[in-house]
């Protein structure tokens, strides 16, 4: 009987032990699952933050700096991350950026091992990661002195590809022996994929900027080269028309006037191209000076006194001729000339009205532009210039884009109206430089109205 009781006690104790063990295992599994979920959440958050960071700029050096700084902060062990980029023209990898190591020494080391076959080159050729747990003891390490001198132990290299094209490699040295587990490899490979896309986009942007710079320089040079002989042609044509080189008959005078008119149109196109190229390279500055409104309008009006070759009337209205405003007179003149020339070009008959008035602060509804002064826009008067025509008008779907470069209502090869689509673009850019705003209203078949508002500062 005693033996039976003892066996029952032993069995009961065993059951208690087994139950406790099972509960502990369940708790361990639950804790492991919770830890894994937390790590996954942190890595998803890290991937999102990395994506936001490296896509915040298109400047390649800045992209690389942001990525490496973020990577160092994400890894919980001492690392030396490096990025090498693929040079398509040279057909080789070139060191570009690194952290926690002297860059010049790293580049020099890179040049020494360029012609050998190492983990980096193997990784790029195989399109998958390669690694060494201990470079200092690895017989395949080609420069053990370098890794020992800097205390580099483990090494992981991940190839960077974008759209199936090589971009470069991401290398991660550790300062202590580290085993890259599969989960960590997947995470770092995803980070490398983000970096590859960001680097590729930055490289495309650099190529675009370079291409645009070459194009702008070409247009600038060509504009200068075209303008010089055209001015000579116009000068001699004017001298002949005015009888300075001998008498001419009425038909010859009419022909010379048409020559001068066409030459003026071409000169305006060339000047617009030159202004546009200079605007794109940010070489234009604003020079403020006092401008008497009435005198300014009279000078502008005088430049249009020549007879128009169409039944079109130019009307001028300046309600406050004595007002003095501080602005860049030549730029303001260019703005209005571009708008008036546009109005004349697209109006075959009727009129073009140029109006000027001073607006009190309460009458201004103005969204500040990049160069405007929002802190003073409600405490000073503004000057409004309006150019209204009775021309062909602008289709509704074209209206939002009329101030963009090279935009035209009709861009076909058989179009009726000339020009390259830069006049309104320059008018908008110059208006913004003066702290103002230009707007367009139009109804197809009935005409257009362009309104320029600039701060008076008088």
Residues in contact with 439: Cβ distance below 8 Å, sequence separation at least 6, in sequence order:
450, 451
Task: Provide block-wise average pLDDT over 10 residues at a time, the chain (458 residues).
Answer: 57 61 63 59 68 74 89 89 91 91 85 61 88 88 84 93 91 92 90 90 83 69 72 84 86 85 77 69 78 93 78 90 91 93 88 91 50 48 93 87 68 44 85 93 92 84
CA distance 353 to 337: 13
CA distance 111 to 99: 18
What pLDDT score was predicted for residue 415?
41
CA distance 399 to 441: 8
94: β partners:
85
What pLDDT score was predicted for residue 8?
61
What pLDDT score was predicted for residue 97?
93
Say if CB 423 and CB 398 are below 8 A apart: no
Residues in contact with 136: Cβ distance below 8 Å, sequence separation at least 6, in sequence order:
144, 147, 148, 152, 153
CATH C-level class of 285-455: alpha beta
What pLDDT score was predicted for residue 434?
92
CA distance 292 to 332: 12
Predicted TM-score (pTM) of this structure: 0.48
The CATH number of 53-208 is which of 3.30.470.20, 3.40.50.620, 3.40.50.300, 3.30.450.40? Answer: 3.30.450.40
The residue among 163, 88, 156, 81 whose CA lies nearest residue 122 is: 156
The residue among 394, 396, 365, 392 whose CA lies nearest residue 378 is: 365
CA distance 169 to 121: 9
Residues in contact with 119: Cβ distance below 8 Å, sequence separation at least 6, in sequence order:
130, 131, 132, 140, 155, 157
CA distance 240 to 256: 8
H or E segment at 88?
Answer: none
The residue with tokens 């007879």 is: 307
């Amino acid at each position: 009987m005693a033996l039976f009781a003892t066996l029952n006690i032993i069995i009961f104790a065993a059951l208690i032990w087994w139950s406790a063990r099972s509960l502990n295992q369940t708790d361990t599994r639950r804790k492991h699952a919770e830890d894994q979920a937390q790590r996954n959440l942190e890595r998803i958050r890290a991937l999102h933050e990395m994506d936001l960071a490296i896509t915040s700029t298109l400047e390649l050096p800045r992209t690389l700096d942001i990525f490496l700084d973020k990577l160092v902060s994400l890894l919980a062990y001492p690392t030396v991350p490096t990025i090498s980029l693929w040079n398509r023209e040279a057909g080789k990898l070139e060191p570009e950026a690194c952290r926690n190591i002297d860059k010049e020494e790293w580049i020099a080391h890179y040049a020494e091992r360029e012609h050998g076959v190492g983990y980096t080159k193997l990784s790029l050729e195989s399109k998958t990661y390669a690694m060494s747990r201990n470079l200092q003891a690895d017989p395949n390490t080609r420069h053990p002195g370098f890794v020992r001198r800097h205390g580099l132990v483990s090494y992981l290299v991940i190839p960077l590809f974008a759209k199936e094209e090589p971009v470069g490699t991401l290398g991660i040295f550790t300062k202590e022996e580290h085993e890259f587990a599969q989960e960590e490899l997947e995470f770092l490979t995803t980070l490398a994929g983000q970096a590859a896309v960001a680097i590729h986009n930055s490289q495309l942007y650099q190529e675009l900027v370079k291409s645009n710079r070459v194009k702008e320089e070409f247009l600038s040079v060509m504009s200068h080269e075209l303008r010089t002989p055209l001015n000579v042609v116009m000068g001699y044509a004017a001298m002949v028309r005015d009888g300075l080189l001998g008498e001419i008959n009425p038909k010859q005078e009419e022909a010379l006037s048409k020559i001068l008119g066409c030459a003026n149109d071409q000169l305006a196109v060339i000047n617009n191209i030159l202004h546009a190229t200079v605007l794109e390279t940010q070489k234009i500055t604003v020079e403020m000076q006092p401008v008497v409104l009435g005198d300014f309008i009279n000078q502008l009006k005088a430049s249009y006194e020549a007879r128009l070759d169409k039944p079109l009337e130019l009307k001028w209205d300046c309600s406050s001729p004595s007002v003095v405003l501080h602005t860049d007179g030549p730029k303001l003149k260019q703005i209005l000339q571009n708008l008036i020339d546009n109005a004349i070009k697209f109006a075959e008959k009727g009129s073009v009205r140029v109006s000027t008035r001073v607006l009190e602060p309460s009458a201004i509804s103005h969204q500040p532009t990049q160069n405007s002064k929002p802190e003073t826009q409600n405490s000073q008067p503004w000057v409004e210039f309006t150019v209204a025509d009775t021309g062909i008008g602008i289709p509704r779907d074209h209206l939002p884009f009329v101030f963009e470069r090279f935009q035209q209502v009709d861009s076909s090869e058989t179009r009726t109206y000339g020009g390259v689509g830069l006049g309104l673009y320059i008018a908008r850019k110059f208006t913004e430089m003066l702290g103002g705003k230009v707007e367009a209203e139009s109804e197809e078949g009935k005409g257009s109205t362009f309104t320029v508002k600039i701060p008076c500062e008088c």
